Chain A
Amino acid sequence: MQECAPCSDPHVGAGTIRSDRVTTTIQPRLTQVFRFVRCSYANGVAELVYAFDHGEELIETVRFPNAPALPASHKAAFDRALKLLHLIAGVSYYKAGVPPKIDVADGPLDNATADLLDALYLHGLAEFAYRNGLDLRGRVAFPHGGAAQPQASALNLPRRTLVPIGGGKDSLVAVEAIKSIGGEATAVWVGNSNLIASCAERTGLPTLNIQRELAPQLFDLNRIGAWNGHIPVTAVNSAILAVAAILYGYDSIAFANERSASAATLEYEGQLVNHQWSKGYTFEQLLGDWLHTQVAADLDYCSLLRPYSELAITRTFAKLTPYFDAFSSCNRNFKILGPKPADRWCGQCPKCHFVFLALAPFLSKPRLLQIFGRNLLDDDGQAAGFDALLEYQDHKPFECVGEGAEARAAMYALSQRPEWQEDALIARFRSEILPQLNVADLALEPWLEPSAEHRIPARLQHALAFFA
């Protein structure tokens, strides 16, 4: 759940993959069927089993620490959530071969579930498909037509919230917003990350660290030429947290996905490609509704930051000084942390570029430069990176970054400030890019206004005052 680490799979729990395995003989790109074999749960460990054709079973495990015994009244809800996790987590394996047929061992899915998965696999893998020159339209087809599921009832879940932590600014803002209304919450993350662990510790909240271990064979498949690339990792994590919410007892899962996550990265042969599709509002609605109807009527799935732009969030984050030397949104996914800014911010990737730019209007310049350890906007070498953010001569990068217009507004704000004006990329913006823009479109203020579109449950809506 590293906030937008490049979401191709080996990042997640890669530490558990072994490389000394006997190589499988299967040719992943020539497979015909992707099979959801079975899933099971016992003693805090969920096993999710997949296979290609009639090949070796691929077994993923998800470990829930200190799992309590499951009350009988929650059994049905838990099984539905686990089933969904099995179906969603399969995306990591499915994409290795992208075979023409999908088979679910215990029979076709009800239409609502099949639609959710068709949408997730098609849109969530859109970037993967684009980068590998594949077209998944018509190829992704989960078996439909199973019996409709009965409407789920309310489970009277405890009024507390799971807040996924990513080590970046967004989830920390969400945490502080919930803390500001005295809400009961747990900071949760999936996988091993020192960065996230140290950020979670700074929140002062109770923590929950769920482990996900990919099937080790996936690494072998990659070595023998499997398709590889970006997967909708937020969907996988959401499904894991839905299971966790039923297991441990939480009535809400509050992600920190902002408004701009819904904006597409580019359009390709008539299909919108959004790197952050599973962080977008469409997926939030699909999954939220599905959980209400099929798991528990009182389990809310939402993003607390949905009404806000990146800029509104960075403005709020700029007040959270205690996190400045701990957080990082960089997608270099540092596994080894050191004390220096360069140990947390690579300074080269779109996330570094964007967070730097979005924080700049709201922090004193020396403070911002202290956080990053260097001035990315005074470095000619970073021009192309910032151009992409501004959608100038390039499309928006395949990363979880704000909208182009948002980046332009931040850049414009800096270009009007004497302490920034002479920096290389600001000066370049003033002379080269600004004349092509309409200044009326560049105001910062409209970005600070919340939108009405969100699914935040009534219980948590007061927390939005934190952003005022």
Chain B
Amino acid sequence: MKFGGTSVATLPRWQNILELVATRRAEGARVLVVVSALSGITDALKQLCAQEDKGKRIEAAKAIAQRHYDLLDHMQLAVPDALGTKLGELAKLADEGPAALGELAWAALIQAHGELLSSTLGAAFLSHSGLPTQWVDARECLAAVALPNQNERTKLLSAMVEAKPDPALNLRLAKQGDVFITQGFIARESQGRTVLLGRGGSDTSASYFGALLKAQRVEIWTDVAGMFTANPRQVPGARLLQRLDYEEAQEIASTGAKVLHPRCLSPLREPRVPMLIKDTNRPELEGTVIGPEVREHAPSVKAISARKGLTLVSMESVGMWQQVGFLADVFAQFKQHGLSVDLIGSAETNVTVSLDPTENLLDSDAIAALASDLAKVCRVKVIAPCAAITLVGRGMRSMLHTLSGVLAEFGQLRVHMISQSSNNLNLTFVVDENVVDDLLPLLHELLIAAGALRTDDSALFGPSWQALYGSGEVPVPAASWWRTTERQRLLELGAKATPRYVYHLPTVRQQARDLKTLAAVDRLHYAVKANTHPAILKALAEEGFGFECVSPGEMKAVMAAVPESAPLLFTPNFAPREDYAWALTTRATVSLDSLYPLEHWGELFRGREIVLRVDLGRGLGHHEKVRTGGSGSKFGLPVELVDTFLKLADGHGVIVRGLHAHLGSGILDDSHWGEVYSQLASLAERIGSVAFIDIGGGLGVPSHPGEARLDIAALDRVLREVKAAYPHYKLWMEPGRYLVADAGVLLTRVTQQKGKSALRYLGVDTGMNSLIRPALYEAWHEIVNLSRLDEPATGLFQVVGPICESGDVLGTDRRLPEPQEGDVMLIAQAGAYGKVMSSPYNMRDEAEEIIIE
């Protein structure tokens, strides 16, 4: 069990250690505790070493002694003799200075005292607290080996230990007792001098001891529950990784995770000792287990990380093709200009390398000088600022097919370099740095949605960081209506006939009221394309919503269902002239999103007020097909054509009263609307006539278990901030799916099963004819066996419908109870884009719709 500096700095933390060690003892384990120095002591010792003045060194040693006396005081312990001796040695070293031992050996010995002191103090505390604890000198156990590429400094200050299982050590310790404490960070070399293990040294010590003793496991106790699927600061929805193999963990640690130093895993690999990372403050959390490769799981991407500030140097020349020594010469230039190379990608005539951001790179002419020298032998291109996005997971190459959605995302970007190592653990994309902050959470989502990051496998993935550590604002989602109050009614409905859509109006109303708490929004329109059932339209009209329609058909359906007073928006795309002509006879506010209508049918619009839908140049959303911004999308007028549009409008006496943009669907990041809003508002300032800004909809509805909901309060804060800057514009929104998705379910019944090699297919009586989202968008819908909701989910199934299409799959790799023919299955979140997108394909009966008031 290893505890870091903050874990050993105070009495309460030591009491915590005592409790944890006692628990392990009670489980029958013999325990070796590895400790760091008290927090801040290693730095203080380093400063002591750098101090040339003897008096000041002695002062520093005294201050360090005092820290330990204070802690002992809190523990109500007298100063143990062993501690007194070590403090005496430290004072002596400080007094003598480096002359006798030599600078480096002296410094190493002084710094080693941090751990020597903390472990001695710990032994006293634990023994005194009723847990007899033997102090072990790590230097007696860990022998540093000399490596050919080491100089004196690395030999003494970042030493390596070859840790092979040593039964003799086991025997020796067994004779002494059951609980031991020793030092992290230090070892001894062949001449008997004390050496240090360098950065991450204490974790590495724990691993060395784990290997030497062939321990049951190594436990690293720290301030977080383990490794996550992404940096939680960038992706709050990052999930705890519960199982990793050594290589994966090492790769994740080296591409960004700070919790573990990458070098501390290799000692454990050969003796196959597992490592467990645990949160000292939350020992009840599962933590991360790192062990030998786990075979019984489908391959999955485990983590995604990003490193920013990279500069790429791309070198192009036929000269390198089959030329001996070309690369050696090129790399010599990097060395000469003091630039260290990280990633390398190569083709027959091109080599591209990445450089990490250093002061030398940013503020000297190193890159200009390097480019000048390289230009003599090849064409050089300096590309920056870049970021490396790395996906980590065993067997990456075998997962490429699941990454299509993720790769499509890269398709919109400039990818400068892709690197994939032969160990098949990672896939790295180097892209422009400015896309990373938005991209990373999106890719994390896409990896989950694509089934590449199998968060539905609870054996591998734990809760999200947000759920574990997020601020208290994350509301615990209420159990779904279909799981609780209405379950029995749904079972009865399903028993009578299937397929059936069932809509729960109280949920629609609740979602509507949630959105009405957005104080900054002046008017909400329901995007009726999501679900045009008259009862839903009526309910939302009662909640004061307006209605956004995209066709005369939708308009007529709405006008038939809602009162005259409800505002209407007509926002079609590529609609024919007669649609506009008709819409202009109604009360609807009409929007335009191209030049064509004004160029060719300008007279139709003369004297009218319209809304202009612009394309701000980029799209967002959960799938390429729901993205409605960016030049790859057919929606919106490109910003650069706005002036032309305004001239045309002026010419026909058309007044642009509103500006509208809508970038996509399923967006869960609240800051996104703030950006759209402020961009539209600053555009509106160039157009005198604008009175309102319509920032569209696309409010995301999380589909996966544990995924964070859109934070409406945070969204409101973002919107109010923008509104304060542009108070003269009314703010409109057009939510659709947010209002109705969770309110609807699709009921279907099990018809049969089929096994095909390892796969099990579970057939139900409807499929893509009723719900096309899984096939069209790779959308993930929760699927449960409503008849057996309380039975354990033991099987892994592909849930498929009866349509003659191989794409007729409602859910892949779902863990479900063993089904029986006739069981009622429920497909959740089917209230939006379900029935409205259904088709008579294969001439199967259409699903009827039932309303629960």
In the complex, the answer to whether A341 meets B363 with C-beta atoms within 8 Å is: no
Determine how close the nearest CB of chain A comes to the CB of B70; give it in whole angstroms: 39
Q: State which of B30-38, B246-254, B369-377 sits at the interface with chain A.
A: B369-377
Compute how far the CA of A419 lies from the CA of B311 in the bound complex, rounded to whole angstroms.
Answer: 11
In the complex, the answer to whether A366 meets B433 with C-beta atoms within 8 Å is: no
Determine how close the nearest CB of chain B comes to the CB of A162; give it in whole angstroms: 26
Q: Chain B contacts of A407 at CB under 8 A?
A: none
In the complex, the answer to whether A222 meets B689 with C-beta atoms within 8 Å is: yes
**Contact A15-B371, Cβ < 8 Å, known A364-B365, A365-B384, A374-B434:** no
Residue of A whose beta carbon sits closest to that of B314: A422
In the complex, the answer to whether B725 meets A333 with C-beta atoms within 8 Å is: no
Determine how close the nearest CB of chain B comes to the CB of A97; give it in whole angstroms: 13
Determine how close the nearest CB of chain B comes to the CB of A52; give it in whole angstroms: 16
Q: Chain B contacts of A373 at CB under 8 A?
A: 385, 433-434
Q: Chain A contacts of B372 at CB under 8 A?
A: 417-419
* B757 close to A (CB within 8 Å): no
Residue of B whose beta carbon sits closest to that of A373: B434
**Contact A336-B363, Cβ < 8 Å, known A228-B688, A369-B384:** no
Q: Chain B contacts of A11 at CB under 8 A?
A: 685
In the complex, the answer to whether A422 meets B380 with C-beta atoms within 8 Å is: yes
Instruction: State which residues 706-744 of B face A: CB under 8 Å.
Output: 721-722, 724-730
In the complex, the answer to whether A375 meets B384 with C-beta atoms within 8 Å is: yes
Interface of B is mostly: mixed
In the complex, the answer to whether A418 meets B380 with C-beta atoms within 8 Å is: yes
* B544 close to A (CB within 8 Å): no
* A212 close to B (CB within 8 Å): no
In the complex, the answer to whether B371 meets A366 with C-beta atoms within 8 Å is: no
In the complex, the answer to whether A420 meets B434 with C-beta atoms within 8 Å is: no
Q: Chain A contacts of B314 at CB under 8 A?
A: 422
Compute how far the CA of A18 lies from the CA of B380 in the bound complex, rounded to whole angstroms.
Answer: 56
In the complex, the answer to whether B726 meets A335 with C-beta atoms within 8 Å is: yes
Contact of B381 among A333, A334, A423 (CB under 8 A): A423
Compute how far the CA of A15 lies from the CA of B437 in the bound complex, rounded to whole angstroms.
Answer: 30
Compute how far the CA of A280 lies from the CA of B791 in the bound complex, rounded to whole angstroms.
Answer: 81
Residue of B whose beta carbon sits closest to that of A227: B688
In the complex, the answer to whether A366 meets B380 with C-beta atoms within 8 Å is: no
In the complex, the answer to whether B368 meets A19 with C-beta atoms within 8 Å is: no
Determine how close the nearest CB of chain B comes to the CB of A444; give it in whole angstroms: 15
* A164 close to B (CB within 8 Å): no
Instruction: State which residues 10-62 of B face A: CB under 8 Å.
Output: none
* B432 close to A (CB within 8 Å): yes
In the complex, the answer to whether B682 meets A366 with C-beta atoms within 8 Å is: no
Compute how far the CA of A321 lies from the CA of B359 in the bound complex, rounded to whole angstroms.
Answer: 13
Compute how far the CA of A34 lies from the CA of B156 in the bound complex, rounded to whole angstroms.
Answer: 85
* A124 close to B (CB within 8 Å): no
Determine how close the nearest CB of chain B comes to the CB of A334; give it in whole angstroms: 8
Compute how far the CA of A341 lies from the CA of B309 in the bound complex, rounded to whole angstroms.
Answer: 13
In the complex, the answer to whether B368 meets A419 with C-beta atoms within 8 Å is: yes
Instruction: State which residues 526-564 of B face A: CB under 8 Å.
Output: none
Contact of B363 among A14, A340, A364 (CB under 8 A): A364
Residue of A whose beta carbon sits closest to that of B678: A336
Compute how far the CA of A10 lies from the CA of B689 in the bound complex, rounded to whole angstroms.
Answer: 11
Q: Chain B contacts of A378 at CB under 8 A?
A: 383
**Contact A10-B362, Cβ < 8 Å, known A15-B725, A365-B367, A369-B385:** no
Q: Chain A contacts of B363 at CB under 8 A?
A: 321, 364, 367
Number of A-B contacts (CB under 8 A): 123
Q: Chain B contacts of A15 at CB under 8 A?
A: 724-727
* B282 close to A (CB within 8 Å): no
In the complex, the answer to whether A364 meets B686 with C-beta atoms within 8 Å is: no
* B335 close to A (CB within 8 Å): no
Instruction: State which residues 157-203 of B face A: CB under 8 Å.
Output: none
In the complex, the answer to whether B689 meets A364 with C-beta atoms within 8 Å is: no
* A180 close to B (CB within 8 Å): no
In the complex, the answer to whether A365 meets B382 with C-beta atoms within 8 Å is: yes
Compute how far the CA of A14 lies from the CA of B727 in the bound complex, rounded to whole angstroms.
Answer: 8
Instruction: State which residues 314-350 of A face B: CB under 8 Å.
Output: 321, 332-336, 340-342
* B361 close to A (CB within 8 Å): yes
* B674 close to A (CB within 8 Å): yes
Determine how close the nearest CB of chain B comes to the CB of A237; give it in whole angstroms: 18
Residue of A whose beta carbon sits closest to that of B674: A336
Determine how close the nearest CB of chain B comes to the CB of A461; give it in whole angstroms: 32
Contact of B362 among A6, A219, A366, A374 (CB under 8 A): A366
Compute how far the CA of A223 lies from the CA of B658 in the bound complex, rounded to whole angstroms.
Answer: 11
**Contact A370-B309, Cβ < 8 Å, known A14-B685, A340-B434, A342-B434:** yes
Q: Chain A contacts of B380 at CB under 8 A?
A: 418-419, 421-422
In the complex, the answer to whether B725 meets A366 with C-beta atoms within 8 Å is: no
Compute how far the CA of A333 lies from the CA of B678 in the bound complex, rounded to whole angstroms.
Answer: 10
In the complex, the answer to whether A367 meets B362 with C-beta atoms within 8 Å is: yes
* B485 close to A (CB within 8 Å): no
In the complex, the answer to whether A418 meets B691 with C-beta atoms within 8 Å is: no
Q: Chain A contacts of B725 at CB under 8 A?
A: 15, 335-336
* B364 close to A (CB within 8 Å): yes
Q: Chain A contacts of B691 at CB under 8 A?
A: 19, 223
In the complex, the answer to whether B688 meets A223 with C-beta atoms within 8 Å is: yes
In the complex, the answer to whether B374 meets A418 with C-beta atoms within 8 Å is: yes
Compute how far the CA of A333 lies from the CA of B685 in the bound complex, rounded to whole angstroms.
Answer: 11
In the complex, the answer to whether A366 meets B357 with C-beta atoms within 8 Å is: yes
**Contact A364-B367, Cβ < 8 Å, known A11-B685, A228-B688, A373-B385:** yes
Compute how far the CA of A11 lies from the CA of B367 in the bound complex, rounded to whole angstroms.
Answer: 41
Residue of A whose beta carbon sits closest to that of B362: A367
Compute how far the CA of A11 lies from the CA of B437 in the bound complex, rounded to whole angstroms.
Answer: 29
Q: Chain A contacts of B730 at CB under 8 A?
A: 19
Compute how far the CA of A423 lies from the CA of B382 in the bound complex, rounded to whole angstroms.
Answer: 8
Determine how close the nearest CB of chain A comes to the CB of B63; give it in whole angstroms: 35
* B153 close to A (CB within 8 Å): no
* A210 close to B (CB within 8 Å): no
In the complex, the answer to whether B434 meets A341 with C-beta atoms within 8 Å is: yes
Most-contacted residue by chain B among A226, A334, A342, A365 (CB, 10 A) = A365
In the complex, the answer to whether B434 meets A418 with C-beta atoms within 8 Å is: no
Compute how far the CA of A375 lies from the CA of B314 in the bound complex, rounded to whole angstroms.
Answer: 15
Contact of A419 among B371, B726, B729 (CB under 8 A): B371
Compute how far the CA of A332 lies from the CA of B726 in the bound complex, rounded to whole angstroms.
Answer: 14
Q: Chain B contacts of A14 at CB under 8 A?
A: 685, 726, 728
Q: Chain B contacts of A225 at CB under 8 A?
A: 655, 688-689
Residue of B whose beta carbon sits closest to that of A17: B728
* B379 close to A (CB within 8 Å): yes
Contact of B728 among A219, A228, A423 (CB under 8 A): A219
In the complex, the answer to whether B379 meets A422 with C-beta atoms within 8 Å is: yes
* A8 close to B (CB within 8 Å): yes
In the complex, the answer to whether A366 meets B375 with C-beta atoms within 8 Å is: no
Compute how far the CA of A336 lies from the CA of B725 in the bound complex, rounded to whole angstroms.
Answer: 8
**Contact A366-B367, Cβ < 8 Å, known A223-B689, A373-B434:** yes
Q: Chain A contacts of B368 at CB under 8 A?
A: 364-365, 417-419
Compute how far the CA of A438 lies from the CA of B351 in the bound complex, rounded to whole angstroms.
Answer: 35
Q: Chain A contacts of B365 at CB under 8 A?
A: 364
In the complex, the answer to whether B362 meets A364 with C-beta atoms within 8 Å is: yes
Compute how far the CA of A311 lies from the CA of B219 in the bound complex, rounded to whole angstroms.
Answer: 60
In the complex, the answer to whether A366 meets B689 with C-beta atoms within 8 Å is: no
Q: Chain A contacts of B383 at CB under 8 A?
A: 375, 378
Compute how far the CA of A250 lies from the CA of B476 in the bound complex, rounded to whole angstroms.
Answer: 61
Can you name 28 A-B pairs with beta carbons within 8 Å?
A: A11-B685, A14-B685, A14-B728, A15-B725, A19-B728, A225-B655, A332-B682, A335-B682, A336-B725, A340-B437, A364-B362, A364-B364, A364-B365, A366-B362, A366-B384, A366-B385, A367-B362, A367-B363, A373-B434, A374-B434, A375-B383, A375-B384, A418-B371, A418-B375, A419-B372, A421-B380, A422-B380, A423-B381
- Taking beta carbons and an 8 Å cutoff, which residues of B are in contact with A? 309, 311, 314, 357, 361-368, 370-372, 374-375, 379-385, 432-434, 437, 655, 674, 678, 681-682, 685-686, 688-689, 691, 721-722, 724-730
- Taking beta carbons and an 8 Å cutoff, which residues of A are in contact with B? 6, 8, 10-11, 14-15, 17-19, 219, 222-223, 225-226, 228, 321, 332-336, 340-342, 364-367, 369-370, 373-375, 378, 417-423
Ordered nearest first, which 10 A-B pairs have the shortest CB separation? Answer: A222-B688, A419-B371, A422-B381, A418-B375, A418-B371, A335-B725, A19-B728, A419-B382, A369-B384, A373-B434
